[in-house]
Amino acid sequence: MKHARIEMNPEIMGGKPVVRGTRIPVETILRKLGAGMTTEAVLADHPRLSADDIRAAQAFAADYLADEDVAYG
């Protein structure tokens, strides 16, 4: 499975992609990183996550965007 650490289930967070077994949305991780938080700071905020989970969230988002037409402006 390409994104084994990420799951989407309509019963969990309304079907948004989350890190498997945590209920922590990929979006939350990306927003924190985008706001300038370091990986270490995100891990401190979410002790259930690992550095591999954060990398998996980033890879999932990159693959998702690669498959989508993104509108600019």
Question: CA 40 to CA 62: how far, in whole Å?
Answer: 21
Report CA-CA distances (Å) from 59 to 11, 25, 56, 73: 23, 14, 5, 24
Q: What is the pLDDT of residue 1?
A: 64
Residue-wise pLDDT tens digits, 17-43: 999 999 999 999 999 999 999 999 999
Confidence of residue 70 (pLDDT cuts 50, 70, 90): low
pLDDT computed for residue 22 by the predictor: 97
36 contact partners, CB below 8 Å, separation of at least 6: none
Mean pLDDT over the full length of the chain? 94
Query: Is the pTM above the cut of 0.75?
Result: yes
Query: Looking at domain 6-66, which CATH architecture does it have?
Result: Orthogonal Bundle (1.10)
